[in-house]
Every structure is written in structure tokens, then in C-alpha cells.
Structure 1
Amino acid sequence: MTFKLTHQSEAHTSSASSVSTATLFKMFVGPRASAYVQALQNPTRFNWGGLLFGAYWLLYRKMYAQFFLLLSILFFLGMLGAVIGLPWSILLGISVLPHVVYGFIGSDLYARFAQEKVHDYQHQPKYSPQVFAESGGTSWSQPILWLGIQMVVGYMLTTPFLQY
């Protein structure tokens, strides 16, 4: 059994080393890889997806750690604002700020994320390049799931039997 795992690991290592960094980057990012290659060369490229959709865009691009970091920061700022008594208009303004930030740095952020994943994969490939490509790219399921969760929680908080 150990020999088989070692043999598989060596096969993945040799297949990963035979694929160039640029090819792995394009495989990971997907069809819009050329835009993110340009973002590596010009970090000031504007990202409309990040501006319009913010956290949903992070989920769509499978940037889960950044999504949960953003969620934690917004939750903390929201609770802090509620405790000190900030008006809702200011809290709404605070919640729009990440959208603006992702509009300006989103392309560079994702390009660096993809570059880091490619680098990690090249140094320690755990699976085939095809599986690596599937781990990148985009996914509609997570943003739709997050929207559904928000709708259910919003409904639960606005029904009369749950109001405090």
C-alpha cells in the first residue's frame, strides 16, 4: 500500500513538473486567464465583478479564506457599530467599502491567489493537473448557496414570531 501511494506521488510530481507555470496558471484560472495575466503585469486593472458583487465574487472565484476574513471583519464592524450606536446609514456605507476595494484590487488579488496556488502545486503536487484545474476556475454553487442562506436568515429575522 505504501509503495502504491509513493508511486502515485511520483507520477503526479513528474506530470506536474512537465507542465509549465503559464499552462498551470491558465488551467487554474480558466477562460479569463489572459485578463488575470495582464493583472499581474498591471495591478491597477479594475474588476467590475469585485465592485458589483463583492463577497459573492470571492465565492465565485473560490477564494474562501478571503470570503471568511471579509465576513468576520464586516460582522465585527457591524457589531461594534451597533454597540456604539452608529446610524444605519453609516453601517450601510461601511458594508459598501469592500465592494469598492475589490473593484480596485480584485484582479490583482485573484491573480496573486492563482499564482500562489500554482506555486504550491508545482512544489508539492498531490493530484493530477486535471484535478488541479478543477480546484480553480469558477463556481456558481457557493454564491447561490450564500444568497439562499442570507435570504433564509433575513426571512427568519423579519417574521413576527422572532422579533424581540
Structure 2
Amino acid sequence: MLCNSCNQENANESAFCSSCGHNLSDTQGQTPPPLTAVNISKDAQSPQNTLSYDSETADTLLAAFVGERYDSFYRAKWFKDSEPRIEVNKDGSSIHSFNIAGLLLGASWLCYRKMYLEAFCIVVGINAVDLVLMYMLGMETYNSIGQTSFFIGWAVLTGMLGNYFYFSHSVRNIKTVMRGTADPATLEQALAEKGGTSWVGAMVGSILVVLLSMAISYLFAPDWFWLV
């Protein structure tokens, strides 16, 4: 508990300030503790806490997880008309934004931002739709418009919804780190390691995405697909 008179930190059960003797019962429940890694960690470990933090704490956690691009890009994209939060799409603001890197790089961008599960699910989903189009449209029609629709699908999912995917990914992983990190001193480092970016992930992920797409087509595409 923080003393309003001298700013001395005291135990929560203290009735009087250990430094100046001020009556702490007058200010109990009125003065929030300072925003520190210690307080954040204590909140996360509390059994009654639901990891619903105020906007300042949300800012701190998201900045640690995302890295340097948070202040210059993602904060404005996610919270243009609202306060920062650790809650997925509470008012829809984070879904109404565009990510040019997601549009141009697709799965490579997802893997660069360590969204490996999202990249896998999107690859499987888009290839499944692509297979349906092959069988429904036939060879001639598919060759004229089917492949175009395949790339449009990537653009919609990773360009139009990329920021939403990344926000959901950030919130999910921040909550995981907060539940599992007992040492406040390593909190920021744990968030940075879990989040941030990975060029290795981008390169390896891109190769695996291509191989996965080829494998799906090889196993399930009609015979004419390989004769074109």
C-alpha cells in the first residue's frame, strides 16, 4: 500500500505508514499501486484475477510482446477509436484495419510474427476451398478464374484480417505468459521472447507452407490439375 503522505510503500495489512506514521486507512482502496512488473505479476497470479487490465497496463504488456512496431504501427491499428486492452475484439475496432505486409507476404508475414498456428490453419482452409473450386468449375473455368480466386483469398485473410489475427495472437500469448511467469524480473523478457519477430520462422514457415500446399494438391486435386 502506498502512503499518500510520503509515498512510502507499506504492507497491505499495515494500519500506519512505517515512515511517517500516516493513517493508511484513510487512503486504503483510493490509491492504486504504481505500474510495475511486480504488480502486474502479482495480479496475474491472483486466483480471482481475470487478466482484465487497465489501459496503461495493457499498453505495457502489448508493447513488451510486440516490440518496436507497437507504438509506431499496431497501437493505432488496434485501438484507433478505443483504449488499449487485453481483450479480443471487444468493440470491433481491431478488425477494421489493413495490413499491407499481410497482403503482400501472406503466410511469410504470419510466420515472421510467429503466428505459426494461424498460418497452418489458413493454408489448410484456403487449399480446401481451392480444391472445391477445382471440382466445381472444371479444368477450363478453373484455369481462367480459379487461381485468381486463390490469391484473392490470401489477400482478404492476411491483408484485411491480418491485424485482427495478430491482436488475437498477442492477447492469447500474453495471458499464457502472465499465468506461467512467477518471477517479475523476467516478465518483460518472457513476453519479448514469446512475441516479437523471427526471420528464421518466416523463411522456414514459407518453405513449409509451399510444401504443405503441394502435398494437399498432390493428394486431393483432380488428375487434370497436374497435366496443365
**TM-score of the aligned structures, taking structure 1 as reference length:** 0.70
Which of the residues 125, 130, 133 maps onto 1:73? 125
Matches within 5 A, 1:8-157: 17=41, 20-34=57-71, 35-42=73-80, 43=94, 44-84=96-136, 85=138, 86-96=141-151, 97-125=153-181, 128-129=186-187, 130-149=189-208, 150=210
Give the fraction of aligned pairs with identical amino acids, expressed as a percent.
26
Residue segments in structure 1 that go unaligned for 5+ positions in a row: 1-12, 158-162
Q: Read off the aligned partner of 2:41 and give its amino acid letter.
A: S
Q: Read off the aligned partner of 1:38 and give its amino acid letter.
A: A
| Range with greater deviation from structure 2 (125-134 or 29-38) | 125-134
CA shift at 1:126, angstroms? 6.6
8 A Cα contact 1:36 1:110, kept in partner: no
CA shift at 1:70, angstroms? 0.5
Corresponding residue for residue 160 of structure 1: none
Deviations 1:93-122 (A, max 9, x none): 222222133222222321232123223322
Deviations 1:110-144 (A, max 9, x none): 12321232233223437732133111111111221
Q: Name the larger-Rg structure.
A: 2
Residue segments in structure 2 that go unaligned for 5+ positions in a row: 1-36, 44-56, 81-93, 219-225
Separation of aligned partners in 2, 1:66 and 1:89: 29
The 1:21/1:122 distance shift into structure 2, 3 A limit, reads farther
The 1:148/1:63 distance shift into structure 2, 3 A limit, reads closer
Structure with greater proportional helix content? 1
The 1:38/1:62 distance shift into structure 2, 3 A limit, reads same
CA shift at 1:87, angstroms? 1.2
Q: Read off the aligned partner of 2:147 and give its amino acid letter.
A: L
Corresponding residue for residue 4 of structure 2: none
**TM-score of the aligned structures, taking structure 2 as reference length:** 0.53
